[in-house]
Amino acid sequence: MLHTNTSDGVPDSSAKFYAAGVILAIAYLHSKEIAYRDMKPENCLIDKFGYPKLVDFGFAKIINGTLLTLTYSLTLTHSYLLTHSYSLLLTHSLTYSLTHSLTSGKSYTLCGTPEYLAPELVLGRGHNKSVDYWAFGILIYEMQAGYSPFADNQSMDQVVICRNIVNCKLSFPRNFNAECKDLTIKLLAKEIHTRLGNLKGGTDDIKNHAWFKSLNFDNYMTRGIVAPWIPKVKSNNDTSNFDPIGTYSLTYLLTHLLTYLLTYLPTYLLSQVLTTTLIILITKTRPIGTKTFKDTFILTNNYIL
C-alpha cells in the first residue's frame, strides 16, 4: 500500500501510525540484544486489525556489547616501569584481551536492502543495533515522500546508492511534515554516537519525539487506536491480499534451468538433472497440489543442490 498504481507514500497520520508499530517492534528486538538488519516496506505487513507486523528475520542477529575502543596508554605507562621483558609482554597481552572483549559488540556482515543500508554497513567498519534506527529513518522518509532518500532514480545503480549513503546529503520535498523531518534527520545521523535511538534514552528518545506527541503508545499496544486501513480478511488462511505467484512458460523455465546447470553443476549430477527435466516436461505449467509450477521448479533445484 506504500506504492500503488496511483500514488506513492502515505499521509502523515498513516505514516505515524505504521512507524509507531515498527519502532515498538525494534524496541522489543533490541531489548533482547537482537539487531533486525532488514528493514524495508516489503517486510512490514499489515495484520487483520490494520496494524503493522515486522517479518523476515533472516538477517537478524544477536549483537551484544558496545563499540567503545580502549587505548593502551595507561597500561603501557605502568609496563614501562617493569624491568623484566616477560612482564612487559604479559601486561600487553592482558590489555589486548580487555580491548577485544569491549569491541565484540560489532558485526561485519554486509546485509540488508541497498537503499536502507547505514553508512557503517556500506563502509564495512562494523556495526551494532543502531543500523536499525538508520533504516527506520529511511522507512519514515519513504512513507512521507514516496521514495527513499538515497535512491538512484536514473539506473538503480547500487554503487551510486552506496555513494549517496556515505555522502549522506539529505533533501526533503516541500510537503514533508516539519516534525517528521526533524526526527528523520536525527535518525539519519552519519555518526552512530549522535544517532537518535543509539543515545542514552534508547528507543524512548524516538517515542518521545514531537512527531509522536499526538499518539498514545499505551493505547497503541492494546490496539485502542483505529488503523488507517483495515484489510478484508475472510479467514486466517486467506491470501487474497497477496499478489498471486505467476506461472512461467516451459521454454523460459528450461532455458534458465539449462543456463544454471551449465554454470554451476558438476558432470556427475547430470543424471539427476535429466530426471528433473523429465519431471518438468511432465508437469508442464499445471499446479501441483497447492504449489504452482514455479514453486515446484524452485523446490526441485534446491533438492538437487
pLDDT tens, residue by residue, 3-19: 887 788 999 999 999 99
CA neighbor of 168 nearest in space, from 144, 195, 143: 195
Distance, CA of 39 to CA of 260 (rounded, Å): 30
131-145 helix and 12-31 helix, angle to the nearest 10 degrees: 170
Residues in CB range of 183: below 8 A, 6 or more apart: 137, 140, 196, 206, 209, 210, 211
| Coil/strand/helix, residue 46 | strand
Write down the pLDDT at residue 260.
65
| 17 and 24 Cβ atoms separated by less than 8 Å | no
Write down the pLDDT at residue 286.
44
Write down the pLDDT at residue 3.
80
Write down the pLDDT at residue 184.
98
Dihedral, CA of residue 269, residue 275, residue 277 and residue 281, to nearest 10: 180
- What's at 236, amino acid-wise? N
Write down the pLDDT at residue 50.
96
Which class would CATH give 12-64+107-221?
mainly alpha
Distance, CA of 164 to CA of 170 (rounded, Å): 9
Write down the pLDDT at residue 202.
95
Write down the pLDDT at residue 229.
95
Q: Spell out the domain ranges in the chain.
A: 12-64+107-221, 73-102, 250-304
By annotation, the residues acting in catalysis are 38
Distance, CA of 217 to CA of 285 (rounded, Å): 49
**Tens digit of each residue's pLDDT, the chain (305 residues):** 788 877 889 999 999 999 999 999 999 999 999 999 999 999 999 999 999 999 999 999 999 864 444 433 333 333 333 333 333 333 333 333 333 334 458 999 999 999 999 999 999 999 999 999 999 999 999 999 999 999 998 888 889 999 999 998 899 999 999 999 999 999 999 999 999 999 999 999 999 999 999 999 999 999 999 999 999 999 988 988 887 766 566 666 677 666 666 666 555 565 565 565 555 555 544 443 434 433 333 333 333 33
Write down the pLDDT at residue 132.
98
- Count of residues making up the chain: 305
Write down the pLDDT at residue 179.
98
pTM: 0.70
